[in-house]
Amino acid sequence: MAHILIVEDEANIRRVLRKVLVEENKSLIISEAEDGVSAISSISKLTFDLILCDIKMPKKDGIEVLSYVQEHAPQTPVVMISGHDDLETAVQAMRLGAYDYIAKPPDLNHLLQTVRSALDVQTKPEKSISKRPPKKYTMVGESEAIQVIHRMVDKVAPTMARVFIQGPNGSGKELVARAIHHKSNRSDAPFVEVNCAAIPSELIESELFGHIKGSFTSAHKDRKGTFEQAHGGTLFLDEIGDMSLAAQAKVLRALEEHKIQRVGSEKSILVDVRVVAATNKNIKEEITQNRFREDLYHRLAVIELYVPPLNDRKDDIPLLAQYFLAGLSPQKELHPDAIKALQTINWTGNIRQLRNVMERFHILSEHQITAQDVNLYTTLNANP
């Protein structure tokens, strides 16, 4: 039986959270704390499997509770509960080790999926030697576009369905793929990424399927391919639209037969792999131009997800900017006028460009990043 501590100063919110959790799983044990001091007192005496913690509370706030947990019970995942005014602090809490954050009023599906995922961390065999929960791949943002992706990931992740992700460069396709793996039943198995655009066509087959010694000039020893390396886990084929037609045919065969052959070998090897693929290209156009196999597309695209460009989700820029700044030291403030200036920029490089620009602002600005800094230093940028 899992034991959850709800730390929240508003009694009605504690009551709602308790009701939702118990209706989902009647075997749960729920404890409550109305402020940070009573929460720390409970944590010092009892062992909890999960802590749901509000940020703004009397006596001691959620960040102080999180810090205590990180020092005294680092194996316990902490999910922060934040009002919209607290989201920047919630993002910072992620940097400090929080498992996740949930905005008020909570999306119940997101809440329950997060609770399931966090409790799953606690039931894994390695719990006793783990010093903190595994890295959480968080898609930062509260826009409707990101909420749609969250809901889709929550539904798709526990299944075996193959997922095909489309979106422009730098928009976060890899992050979505990692979130799917992290929330799946394969999360304790390997996540292996292959950038199909970065591997020469003559080497892609060896990269995917491996080779045996002597199969070609530079094959000095046997080598496992990424399909074997990802056995039991997830294989992420990034920029699959750049893969040659010959390699596509062999990937299709591997998906159909669940087995592969190393280059130079006649022996078949069974593989248990969930494939998630992504591309920045218009895949329907690629099929029309005979540059991508339609049968492979239908094999891969059981579920399709689209990650929008940053220009289509500028409401998320304040949270994203604060998130990137929170990972830099020393801490610097972001003036509200600077946020407004950021939202006027044409982000052709998407999230990747914003991350790089925020690092530049951090280096070149003084104690506070201002609108003047944004206007001055953004012009230095060369789009990736």
pLDDT of residue 312: 95
pLDDT of residue 130: 35
User: What average pLDDT does the segment 261-286 reach?
Assistant: 93
SS3 235: strand
Query: In the chain, what's the furthest Cα-to-Cα distance?
Result: 71
pLDDT of 198 over the 90 cut: no
* Structural domain contains residue 96: yes
Last residue of a domain, one of 285, 306, 327: 306
Tell me, yes or no, whether 60 and 152 share the same domain. Answer: no
Residues 7, 11, 15: CA angle, nearest 5 degrees: 85
pLDDT of 136 over the 50 cut: no
* Structural domain contains residue 134: no
pLDDT of residue 290: 96
Tell me, yes or no, whether 23 and 159 share the same domain. Answer: no
pLDDT of residue 275: 97
For the chain, what is the domain count? 3
Tell me, yes or no, whether 281 and 327 share the same domain. Answer: no
| Locus of tokens 């205590």 | 68
CATH number of the domain that residue 330 is part of: 1.10.8.60
Q: What's the pTM value of the predicted model, to 2 decimals?
A: 0.66
User: What is the C-alpha radius of gyration for the chain, rounded to an integer number of angstroms?
Assistant: 23
Tell me, yes or no, whether 118 and 45 share the same domain. Answer: yes
With b meaning 16 or more CB within 10 Å and e meaning fewer, what string describes 51-81? Answer: bbbbbebeebbbbbbbebbbeeeebbbbbbb
Tell me, yes or no, whether 286 and 299 share the same domain. Answer: yes
Mean pLDDT (the chain) is 87
Last residue of a domain, one of 306, 330, 355: 306
Tell me, yes or no, whether 245 and 169 share the same domain. Answer: yes
Structural domain harbouring 120? 3-129
* Structural domain contains residue 339: yes
Beta strands in the chain (DSSP E): 3-7, 29-33, 50-54, 78-82, 100-103, 163-166, 191-195, 210-211, 223-224, 234-238, 259-261, 268-270, 274-279, 303-306, 333-334, 368-369
pLDDT of residue 202: 81
pLDDT in tens, 84-132: 666 667 767 776 778 888 877 777 777 887 888 788 765 544 433 333 3
The Cα–Cα gap between 107 and 112 comes to 9
Tell me, yes or no, whether 79 and 165 share the same domain. Answer: no
CATH number of the domain that residue 100 is part of: 3.40.50.2300
Tell me, yes or no, whether 108 and 88 share the same domain. Answer: yes
Last residue of a domain, one of 306, 332, 367: 306
Tell me, yes or no, whether 324 and 347 share the same domain. Answer: yes
Bond prior to 58 in cis (omega within 30° of 0):
no
Tell me, yes or no, whether 240 and 321 share the same domain. Answer: no
* Structural domain contains residue 139: no
Tell me, yes or no, whether 355 and 208 share the same domain. Answer: no
Residue whose C-alpha is closest to residue 9's, from 44, 70, 43, 55: 55
Q: Greater confidence, 64 or 201? A: 64
Residue whose C-alpha is closest to residue 320's, from 133, 115, 146, 104: 146
CATH number of the domain that residue 270 is part of: 3.40.50.300
* Structural domain contains residue 135: no
The Cα–Cα gap between 240 and 382 comes to 26
pLDDT of residue 86: 64
